[in-house]
Structure 1
Amino acid sequence: MGSHGQGQGCTHCGCENPIWNTLRHNVDLKAFAGKVAGLLPEPGSESLIFTGGTIYPLINGNMDEQVEALGIHGGDVVASGTLDHVQERMKAKGIKYKIQSLEKRTLLPGLVEPHAHIVQSCVMSNWRDLGPIDDFTQQLRPLYNWDYLVRLIKDDLPKDNKTWILGHMVDPALMPLIVDKNGQKQLTRFYCDASFDPAQDNIGNLDSIVSKSPLLMMSASMHTVYLNTAATNAVYDHQCKKAPDFKKQYPTAQAFVNATQGVLQEETGVMLAISAIPLIQALDVVNIFKYMKTYFDNASSRGITLLYDAMVDPVSKVILEAYGLTHPRNLRVGYAAACNGVDFSKIEKYKPVTKEAARLFYQGSVKLISDGSNQGLTGYQSRKYCCDATSPYGNFNFVDADDKEPKTLPDTYGKTLKEAVKTGWPLMIHANGDRAIAFTLQAYKEALNGQSGLEKRHRIEHCSMLSNDTLDQMKDLGISPSFLIGHVGYWGYAFEQAIFEERASEMLDLCQDALDRGLRISLHSDCTVTPLGPLRSMEQAVTRKMEGIRDKNGTFVKDAARQPVLNEGQCLTRQQALKAITYDAAWQCHADAFTGSLQDGHFADFVILKDNPLDEKYPASEIRKIVVCETWKGGHKVYDNPDA
């Protein structure tokens, strides 16, 4: 049995951090005890009328209406429309106000990040970033290959051989592809081999980077850790002390090295590795608030006013609440409670989200995870991955008995969804592969028993590999998708060339087809899998440019004109994409009654941009570069760009 009660124990991109799962039980909850953050007052609010620029209030999701002015007071929107109308409304309410010029800039409702991970992202902030994406620019690093990893790891080696070298975000899917003897393109393979020969090609051999100090690299998809021999031996020694029977399976450390080659996968293997790291290195709880502040500040700098954490367990919930006691939040936080492996009878009774509850921290749903990561080769598919994968079809997390590759809906999964629906909570279900999505829709159908999922706004997260049939089922069932659109922008080329081949253009992130069926969609980052950045998500949904293509020198092509488009028919218009990171994203997060648009009486949550992302004259391929000048939450400026 896996960690979720019935599954294989697979781990899954940002939706479940195995490092946090391993170490969260060691967190001293007494250190984080206190009142809930929701009791803190809203920051002070100004009484202002904004005018002199472009204002889109997006009332009722209207993407075409522009207004001359917007009035705010007491943390809420008072009125929008002509300047005369807004002034009349403010005066009628006895509000003394100031007029604030936008100086020809663009004002939009605050941007919504509908699927990210806060504590689980911050927990590895002291690890080395070995990933291919530059968080500041949200672009792929110019050169991401084996030599880059070697330089980065060797740049700061520990002075002693006991200190672990810890890295995360390493991504084989964005390393240069390798063509095997059969002409099939493969992903880079990492392994350990202490007998390496410096004269030979050692690409992928971690012992060739460092041999004495333990080295652990966590993949960006978080389903795999890669160890050098020193780390593999340390894991073996630790496990033998913890579970003496381990020697029956692996009589010697060398036998363990030979069997694993330093590659440990899924929850069982990953946690085996993480538990061997000294706790003080693996989990920097002392500085967790500092990392969280940086995380929230970064979100504000990207124009985000509502961030929805897609998986909050009881420990991370306490940490989030405790953070609010001493650190006023500069954005609103909603969350889904983690429910894999949870006794549903112990879940708190469903409570509809109210404006008061949402001032700082609210629960809007519960979360289940069905499969893994497509770029991590663990999303559960109906056809084998085109490149080599440990599990050719990927992994499904709810299986019956020993059926590790179910072809029909496992009873375990169907029963789990029925129990989840009975709680009354809206569901967020992680499903990446096409077979995982098919199973999820079948289980939804049985659990809903003729009712529409629209009432609860049930969602499928990532929802990557789709077909006309599954989209039709989603429409019939009232299930909405949230797309990790970075799959197209960052990994689209690897999907097309090696992982899925022609299926990538046929099935990956069918955003326009979803809208054509009347589905309401959102775009998300799954941070840290991709960086926080709704404008970047908007750009990738509008252009669908495959940024992972390389030039002859092996560097990523930066010229958008030279980046091929993945399935042009699925490109969104600017209006559709903006709606997916504001109005409809707020709807999916059960927050549209108070944010996501600048309706009268809603929170005065908005962002001021230097340029207008809806202006067709502004290059679509540069939307992520639009400068966020100011971000406002509840009528209070929480971010002010000094360079804007």
Structure 2
Amino acid sequence: MGSHGQGQGCTHCGCENPVWNTLRHTVDLKAFAGKVAGQLPEPGSESLIFTGGTIYPLRNGNMDEQVEALGIHGGDVVASGTLTHVQERMKARGIKYTTQSLGGRTLLPGLIEPHMHIVQSCVMDGWVNLGPIDEHTQKLTPRYNWNTLKGLLQASQPKDKKQWILGRMVDPALMPFTVVPGGKNTLTHFYCDSTFDPKADNTGNLDSIVSDSPLLMISASMHTVYLNTAACNAVYYHDNAASQKLRDEYKSFDIFLEKTKGNLQEEAGITPALLSIPLAQALDVVNIFKYMKRYFETASSRGITLLYDAMVDPVSKAILEAYGLTHPRNVRVGYAAACNGVDFSKIEPYKPVTKEAARLFYQGSVKLISDGSNQGLTGYQVDPYCCATDRPYGNFNFCEPGEDHKDPKTLPETYQKTLTNAVATGWPLMIHANGDRAIEFTLQAYKTALKGQSGLEKRHRIEHCSMLNDKTLDQLKDLGISPSFLIGHVGYWGYVFEQAIFEEKATDMLDLCQDALGRGLRISLHSDCTVTPLGPLRSMEQAVTRKMEGVRNEDGTFVKEAARQPVLNEGQCLTRQQALKAITYDAAWQCHADAFTGSLQDGHFADFVILEKNPLDEKVPASDIRDIKVCETWKGGHKVYTHPQP
């Protein structure tokens, strides 16, 4: 339910990981105290001229300009242009350089992920991956249904029956659904019932998969945990204070089972579940650096040179800084500081981003979360969801006290006050708003808080900004608020949105990228990793094609041939140039980093990627853009990734 005036009491999507929020207080910060990011020296940069391929410097956002050569030295770009011009500039500065041929490949500014989560993603890396998206190919697994889940969980059963089975990224929205003409459509539903008949259809009953070990799965949207009966028993009778509140609400274990059926939502339900797991299992801090190293290596392998973490709390910050002390970080990291919407006293005074700060780790904004996840049915909507759910309008996090205000139709004063206080800090804001009602409230609150000033001055953003219409698009333009789109909503969930969750609203309102650009807005495309995998080229492809990858064959497998995947609202397809700009130049602008990255202007960081094929070349099928090989990734004039030879 909503927060009832107490800030963000709702959990959802990658923007707020309930596992991390519940257990981060258990992390021993003494191991990280006093450590400052950047103490480990940067590796030496090279002095090179690149030529012999296709080079797009994107200077001043020019998407048409191609140059013959690029010169780098001291970690920065010296010059781009004709080979003669670049050679003269290098010589004029007394730089001894080596010429490196691109061999016909394409060189672009380093790609940018403007909204993802590092520590919050890595802490659950040791859990069983129950998600529908292959993290390596960035495509839907061939088959994703109840039997898929059953196989994964049965293969993960421990010898010690007291040990919990922990699963992450389970996604009912991408399992088979049923369309009910004239009624509420139904998605796959999980529950627990230990009295099941083994010969009956037990689809959704977690006890039919695992009955003698506690099982907890957290949804990909992170707003729900699903428990079997053994886990319910452990949670209900645990001695933590949150479980005591469950016992106060449900006077017996049988009533608890009957009412919840093993589905616990939001802070009140998820917290006691997580606190009941043995700590060493729940929060794998011991291996956190190993998981972070793999995370950063994945980023480099996908051409990323800047990650912008959309929610960093003090504990996450300490871990990120400590990692920078002991590991060479092969990507730059910017972040938005987490804010609970109640206490702004701990927000550091605003200071603009400098190039020196951006060499490794910098704060660019402050983050607030207004609602939940559309695929998790918790994004806050004007109209009810078209599928069955306990909260037909979703969840809004800033409600007035009392049950009568849990589904507000007008802007809550609590939210207006929160946003006004947030703007007053002087920091640029990133506000998570998925549903159309949440976006309406956010724009209304921005208008009052900005007091006539343009949001462009601080580059205020709305994150995900999924369900838009002409009115809210016009308000974005008038207020100078920039949207960042989780474009995987179209690619991965577009089909279920159009068929079962939103129906025609999905066609008319979901991720209106082209309409936003038509109003002069500067947009970015993001992954919200781990909601979708890191992969700016994949985001580019999904924005250009808007193919709905969730459509199924008659045998229940996902259709893999792009030609057979329907398009969601073709009028919103971006051109290749527009999509590339949204993962480079304009993404850097949204991340307050355009003065030193996002393009290869003279004096900018020598952050770039070398691709085997040119994503702007129409001869490369648009549906193959995510598969373009990243040959090399360079950060600060130093090569941080080379594609392994076959």
Q: TM-score range by the shorter chain?
A: over 0.9
Question: Is the contact between residue 521 and residue 585 of structure 1 (CA under 8 Å) also seen in structure 2?
Answer: yes
Question: Is the contact between residue 37 and residue 321 of structure 2 (CA under 8 Å) also seen in structure 1?
Answer: yes
Q: 1:449 maps to which residue?
A: 451
Question: Is the contact between residue 8 and residue 404 of structure 1 (CA under 8 Å) also seen in structure 2?
Answer: no
CA distance in 1, matches of 2:537, 2:504: 28
Give the aligned CA root-mean-square deviation in angstroms.
1.4
CA distance in 2, matches of 1:249, 1:49: 69
Q: 1:347 maps to which residue?
A: 347
Give the letter aligned to residue 334 of structure 1: G
Give the letter aligned to residue 494 of structure 1: V
Give secondary structure in 2 for the equivalent of 1:440: helix
Q: 2:69 maps to which residue?
A: 69
Question: Residues 620-631 of structure 1: matches in 2 within 5 Å?
Answer: 620-631=622-633
Give secondary structure in 2 for the equivalent of 1:474: helix
Q: 1:41 maps to which residue?
A: 41
CA distance in 1, matches of 2:240, 2:359: 49
Query: Structure 1's 250 and 158: CA in aligned 2 closer, same or farther, altered over 3 A?
Result: same
Give the letter aligned to residue 306 of structure 2: L
Question: Is the contact between residue 242 and residue 268 of structure 2 (CA under 8 Å) also seen in structure 1?
Answer: no
Q: 2:497 maps to which residue?
A: 495
Q: 1:409 maps to which residue?
A: 411
Give secondary structure in 2 for the equivalent of 1:238: coil
CA distance in 2, matches of 1:210, 1:554: 24
Give secondary structure in 2 for the equivalent of 1:514: helix
Distance apart, 1:341 and its partner CA: 3.7
1:539 to 538, 541, 544: 541
Question: Is the contact between residue 5 and residue 341 of structure 1 (CA under 8 Å) also seen in structure 2?
Answer: no
Query: Structure 1's 351 and 19: CA in aligned 2 closer, same or farther, altered over 3 A?
Result: same
Matched, 1:12 2:12: yes
Q: 1:262 maps to which residue?
A: 262
Give secondary structure in 2 for the equivalent of 1:137: coil
Question: Residues 451-470 of structure 1: matches in 2 within 5 Å?
Answer: 451-470=453-472
Alignment deviations for residues 106-158 of structure 1 (CA, whole Å, 9 cap, x no partner): 00000000000000000000000000000000000000000010011101311
Query: Structure 1's 251 and 343: CA in aligned 2 closer, same or farther, altered over 3 A?
Result: closer
Question: Is the contact between residue 417 and residue 443 of structure 1 (CA under 8 Å) also seen in structure 2?
Answer: yes
Q: 2:59 maps to which residue?
A: 59
Q: 2:377 maps to which residue?
A: 377
CA distance in 2, matches of 1:257, 1:493: 33
1:436 to 435, 438, 451: 438
Distance apart, 1:239 and its partner CA: 5.1
CA distance in 1, matches of 2:435, 2:461: 15
Give the letter aligned to residue 566 of structure 1: L
- Which ranges of structure 2 fall in alignment gaps of 5 or more residues? none
Alignment deviations for residues 458-513 of structure 1 (CA, whole Å, 9 cap, x no partner): 00000000000000000000000000000000000000000000000100000000
Q: 2:308 maps to which residue?
A: 308
Q: 1:555 maps to which residue?
A: 557
Distance apart, 1:182 and its partner CA: 5.8
Alignment deviations for residues 415-435 of structure 1 (CA, whole Å, 9 cap, x no partner): 011100110000000000000
CA distance in 1, matches of 2:627, 2:240: 52
How many aligned positions are there?
644
Matched, 1:293 2:271: no
Distance apart, 1:23 and its partner CA: 0.5
Alignment deviations for residues 568-621 of structure 1 (CA, whole Å, 9 cap, x no partner): 000000000000000000000000000000000000000000000000110000
Q: Which range moves more in the overlay, 360-369 or 182-191?
A: 182-191
Question: Is the contact between residue 380 and residue 438 of structure 2 (CA under 8 Å) also seen in structure 1?
Answer: yes
Query: Structure 1's 352 and 7: CA in aligned 2 closer, same or farther, altered over 3 A?
Result: closer
Question: Is the contact between residue 172 and residue 189 of structure 1 (CA under 8 Å) also seen in structure 2?
Answer: yes
Q: 2:143 maps to which residue?
A: 143
Distance apart, 1:35 and its partner CA: 2.6
Give secondary structure in 2 for the equivalent of 1:307: strand
CA distance in 1, matches of 2:25, 2:248: 28
Question: Residues 478-517 of structure 1: matches in 2 within 5 Å?
Answer: 478-517=480-519
Give the letter aligned to residue 475 of structure 2: Q
Give secondary structure in 1 for the equivalent of 2:11: coil
Distance apart, 1:6 and its partner CA: 2.1
Distance apart, 1:548 and its partner CA: 0.1
Q: 1:422 maps to which residue?
A: 424
Give secondary structure in 2 for the equivalent of 1:140: coil
Q: 2:597 maps to which residue?
A: 595
Q: 1:88 maps to which residue?
A: 88
Question: Is the contact between residue 108 and residue 607 of structure 1 (CA under 8 Å) also seen in structure 2?
Answer: yes
Question: Is the contact between residue 166 and residue 216 of structure 1 (CA under 8 Å) also seen in structure 2?
Answer: yes
Question: Is the contact between residue 342 and residue 418 of structure 2 (CA under 8 Å) also seen in structure 1?
Answer: no
Query: Structure 1's 229 and 180: CA in aligned 2 closer, same or farther, altered over 3 A?
Result: farther
CA distance in 2, matches of 1:493, 1:314: 38
Give the letter aligned to residue 606 of structure 1: F
Give secondary structure in 1 for the equivalent of 2:238: helix
Q: 2:579 maps to which residue?
A: 577
Distance apart, 1:401 and its partner CA: 1.3
Query: Structure 1's 242 and 642: CA in aligned 2 closer, same or farther, altered over 3 A?
Result: closer
Distance apart, 1:624 and its partner CA: 0.1
Query: Structure 1's 399 and 183: CA in aligned 2 closer, same or farther, altered over 3 A?
Result: closer
Query: Structure 1's 8 and 255: CA in aligned 2 closer, same or farther, altered over 3 A?
Result: farther
Give secondary structure in 1 for the equivalent of 2:365: strand
Matched, 1:79 2:79: yes
Give secondary structure in 2 for the equivalent of 1:60: helix
CA distance in 1, matches of 2:483, 2:341: 24
Query: Structure 1's 245 and 518: CA in aligned 2 closer, same or farther, altered over 3 A?
Result: closer
Query: Structure 1's 240 and 70: CA in aligned 2 closer, same or farther, altered over 3 A?
Result: closer
CA distance in 2, matches of 1:294, 1:504: 35
Question: Is the contact between residue 3 and residue 9 of structure 1 (CA under 8 Å) also seen in structure 2?
Answer: yes
CA distance in 2, matches of 1:416, 1:440: 11
Give the letter aligned to residue 29 of structure 2: L
CA distance in 2, matches of 1:493, 1:399: 32
Q: Which range moves more in the overlay, 78-87 or 170-179?
A: 170-179
Question: Is the contact between residue 240 and residue 246 of structure 1 (CA under 8 Å) also seen in structure 2?
Answer: no
Q: 1:473 maps to which residue?
A: 475
Query: Structure 1's 554 and 353: CA in aligned 2 closer, same or farther, altered over 3 A?
Result: same
Query: Structure 1's 181 and 455: CA in aligned 2 closer, same or farther, altered over 3 A?
Result: closer
Distance apart, 1:367 and its partner CA: 0.1
Distance apart, 1:272 and its partner CA: 1.6
Question: Is the contact between residue 382 and residue 393 of structure 1 (CA under 8 Å) also seen in structure 2?
Answer: yes
Give the letter aligned to residue 290 of structure 1: K
Q: 1:613 maps to which residue?
A: 615
Question: Is the contact between residue 4 and residue 400 of structure 2 (CA under 8 Å) also seen in structure 1?
Answer: no
CA distance in 1, matches of 2:111, 2:258: 50
CA distance in 2, matches of 1:284, 1:587: 35
Distance apart, 1:536 and its partner CA: 0.1
Distance apart, 1:243 and its partner CA: 5.8
Q: 2:360 maps to which residue?
A: 360
Matched, 1:276 2:289: no
Alignment deviations for residues 160-185 of structure 1 (CA, whole Å, 9 cap, x no partner): 22100000100000001124586643
Question: Is the contact between residue 240 and residue 247 of structure 1 (CA under 8 Å) also seen in structure 2?
Answer: no
Q: 1:98 maps to which residue?
A: 98
Give secondary structure in 1 for the equivalent of 2:53: strand
Question: Is the contact between residue 165 and residue 215 of structure 1 (CA under 8 Å) also seen in structure 2?
Answer: yes
Question: Residues 95-244 of structure 1: matches in 2 within 5 Å?
Answer: 95-180=95-180, 184-238=184-238, 244=244
CA distance in 2, matches of 1:632, 1:101: 15
